[in-house]
Amino acid sequence: MASEKTPIPLGSNFIRAIVEKDLEQGVYQSRQWAGSPGDARHQAAGQVDVAKIRTRFPPEPNGYLHIGHAKSIFLNFGLARDYAGVCHLRFDDTNPEKESQEYVDSITDAVKWLGFSWQNDHEQNLYFASNYFDFMYRAAECLIENGHAYVDSQTADEMRVSRGTLTEAGKNSPWRDRTVAENLALFRAMRDGQYADGSLVLRAKIDMASANINLRDPAIYRVRRAHHHNTGDKWCIYPMYTFAHPIEDALEQITHSICTLEFEDQRPFYDWLLVRLAEAGLLAQPLPKQYEFARLNLTYVVLSKRKLIQLVEEKHVSAWDDPRLPTLAGARRRGYTAAGFKLFTDRIGVSKADSWIDYSTLEDCMREVLNESAERRIAVLDPIKLVIDNYPADQVEDCFAPNHPLKPELAKRVVPLTRELWIEREDFMEEPSKGFFRLVPDGLVRLRYGYVVKCTGFEKDAAGKVTLVHCEYLPDTKSGTPGADSIKVKGNIHWVSVPHAYQCEVRLYDRLFKEAHPGEGGKDFLTELNADSVSVITAQLEPSLKEASAETRFQFERHGYFVADKKDSVAGKPVFNRTVTLRDAWQK
Ligand code: ATP
Ligand code: MG
């Protein structure tokens, strides 16, 4: 029998429920904060924290952020905003390889673009985990001193074998019972560069028989001679992520540390480590707690930095901000908006169950937001010429088009009408199919915001392709005049005056992958790229679009939403990217 579910209030989720309960019970009421991250002694010298909660968004600067990260950003920054807390932006840069300043910059840009800030009441909550290396080293020595860590001399292979399996307990390392003095001496020698990369590992001493493999003496420090973008060559040993992350949270006095489900099995180690360091007096209480939620999986794209790096490096796309990529930089160039992402993250919610979200859900959110906000303009994407033979050759007449049908306060703009117009090729049919109400031989149609015209003929080239359509206008039928309704027509087409048109490059984007779940079933995701994911056309646009500044978004009537490209537009010569069509036209 299906169980009755208690309705969850809009925008609520299980993490909000946890935060509300913690606040109600005063769990963090006397938590102290000295104005910057630090150990127990540092925080004890501070005041009771004015921030009721502290959350963090902790990207590793090893790639650009993607749409999945937006979910985490809205969740973490959103909690802080709604519960009188603060959210830190923390670069989790403890892995020396693959991290760079370009990535750091792109991440700060993306977070700001989504509308969030780490600047709180004179306090900059922007941190780099690599600034905590000294403390992490101290924490490791503290574990050694208290008998909670040892230096292992087994090879990587030996360690793998002795770790055991899901059904079999692991075996203790022969080096597990080294004395504290011996461990300290070896660990210091590791730090001082006396051992080769990968030769020695510092491990937490927990339980090789634990049912949770992550508690079978996990590695916490390894020897790695690698240049670090922040600390240079100061270190030749680096902490493992699972050791570094809880410490970063604790030093920053994070209350609710929110991560994706794959870290659920790491939670016991997270707690074990912080409790050991708090017992030893290194870390302030109360300690942060980890909570896991389901990551965003979105059809027709890949949300993994590793795969995105491959797409960029192997030049399957033009750059990290290619408008087809699901990076936030790409989405921005595509014309997606921060408000659209907000709507999307509200709509998909936060849960503990993994699921796939259909890409069309994201597109619907972008449409909804753009329908409200984007002004309307006229664009002919596949132009053929229409000549109004009974219209004076040198006449220019003003027609008035509303900037936004839902917002009359945005007024109307002038679009010039002349004898020669561009219309869409598909708006004329020599032999109309059933239900085609646009321009046909001898038929009537309204030129939107202008006159009713009657088709009087057409011309073809040698290949039989229509090159030009002739018509005559009915002078009393102009839109907005009393005679406008004297003749009823079924069709209504858009147009742009030939001498006034802005001829312009327009990029029509489609999905990057042909398959909903790229790479599923062991296939190479690259073989599922959509070869037609972009087509570049030359369109005829209404003259006002020439002045559009970069990143202005419009609805091109009857076509969809378009944005003046951020990168390739120059003043007086914008180029446009299609953000999304008006309706979901994707053929399943
Ligand atoms: P990737 O798998 O793409 O490399 P990551 O998790 O390694 O992603 P991080 O830079 O470590 O990337 O992520 C920063 C934060 O964003 C983490 O807290 C992570 O949980 C969150 N995050 C990453 N991907 C998603 C996703 N698809 N949905 C929700 N949150 C995500
Ligand atoms: Mg990662």
What pLDDT score was predicted for residue 229?
85
> Which residues of the chain fall short of a pLDDT of 50?
1-8, 587-588
The alpha carbons of the chain give a radius of gyration, in whole angstroms, of 31
C-alpha 290/C-alpha 345 separation (Å) is 21
Residue 431 falls within a domain, yes or no?
Answer: yes
Q: Are 52 and 235 in contact (CB under 8 A)?
A: no
> Whose CA is closest to 367, among 395, 385, 402, 343?
343
Residue 58 falls within a domain, yes or no?
Answer: yes
Nearest CA to ligand 1 atom 22: 69
Tell me 164's DSSP state: -
What pLDDT score was predicted for residue 348?
95
What pLDDT score was predicted for residue 2?
37
Q: Which helix (H) or strand (E) holds 562?
A: strand 560-564
Nearest CA to ligand 1 atom 14: 59
- Tell me phi and psi for residue 12, to 5 degrees: -90, 160
The DSSP annotation for 442-497 comes to T-EEEETTS-EEEEEEEEE-TTS-EEEEEEEEEGGG-TTSGGGGSS--S-EE-EEE
Nearest CA to ligand 1 atom 16: 69
C-alpha 302/C-alpha 220 separation (Å) is 31
Q: Based on the domain organization, do 217 and 260 belong to the same domain? A: no
Q: Based on the domain organization, do 194 and 232 belong to the same domain? A: yes
Which two three-digit tokens encode residue 335? 């014309």
User: Tell me, what CATH number does 200's domain have?
Assistant: 3.90.800.10
Residues 4-18 have pLDDT tens digits of 444 445 568 999 999
Residue 189 falls within a domain, yes or no?
Answer: yes
> Whose CA is closest to 326, among 71, 29, 12, 15?
71
C-alpha 165/C-alpha 537 separation (Å) is 57
Query: Which of 493, 520, 539 corresponds to the end of one domain?
Result: 493
C-alpha 508/C-alpha 533 separation (Å) is 8
Number of domains in the chain: 4
What residues make up the domain containing 409? Answer: 383-493
Residue 295 appears among annotated catalytic residues = yes
Q: Based on the domain organization, do 190 and 252 belong to the same domain? A: no
User: Tell me, what CATH number does 427's domain have?
Assistant: 2.40.240.10
Q: What is the 3-state secondary structure (H, E, C) of 184-218?
A: HHHHHHHHCCCCCCCCCEEEECCCCCCCCHHHCCC
Residue 499 falls within a domain, yes or no?
Answer: no
Residue 586 falls within a domain, yes or no?
Answer: no
Q: Based on the domain organization, do 222 and 154 belong to the same domain? A: yes
Q: Based on the domain organization, do 127 and 151 belong to the same domain? A: no
Task: Tell me, using a 6 A CB cutoff, whether residue 98 lines ligand 1.
Answer: no
Q: Based on the domain organization, do 395 and 455 belong to the same domain? A: yes
What pLDDT score was predicted for residue 11?
67
Give the CA distances from residue 189 to residues 96, 135, 148, 153, 182, in Å, rounded to whole numbers and listed in that order.
20, 18, 19, 13, 11
Residue 2 falls within a domain, yes or no?
Answer: no
Task: Tell me, using a 6 A CB cutoff, whether residue 61 lines ligand 1.
Answer: no
Q: Based on the domain organization, do 18 and 121 belong to the same domain? A: yes
User: Tell me, what CATH number does 88's domain have?
Assistant: 3.40.50.620
Tell me which of 72, 305, 344 to substitute to probe ligand 1's pocket, judged by most ligand atoms within 8 Å of the beta carbon. Answer: 72
Three-state DSSP class for residue 272: helix
Q: Could you identify the atom of ligand 1 that is nearest to the CA of residue 306? A: 4
Residue 429 falls within a domain, yes or no?
Answer: yes
Q: Based on the domain organization, do 54 and 186 belong to the same domain? A: no
Tell me 282's DSSP state: -
Ligand having the closest approach to the CA of 65? 1
Residue 3 falls within a domain, yes or no?
Answer: no
Q: Based on the domain organization, do 390 and 513 belong to the same domain? A: no
Task: Tell me, using a 6 A CB cutoff, whether residue 59 lines ligand 1.
Answer: yes
pTM value surpassing 0.75: yes
Q: Based on the domain organization, do 204 and 323 belong to the same domain? A: no
Q: Based on the domain organization, do 413 and 488 belong to the same domain? A: yes
Q: Based on the domain organization, do 350 and 403 belong to the same domain? A: no
- Tell me phi and psi for residue 522, to 5 degrees: 75, 5
Three-state DSSP class for residue 399: strand
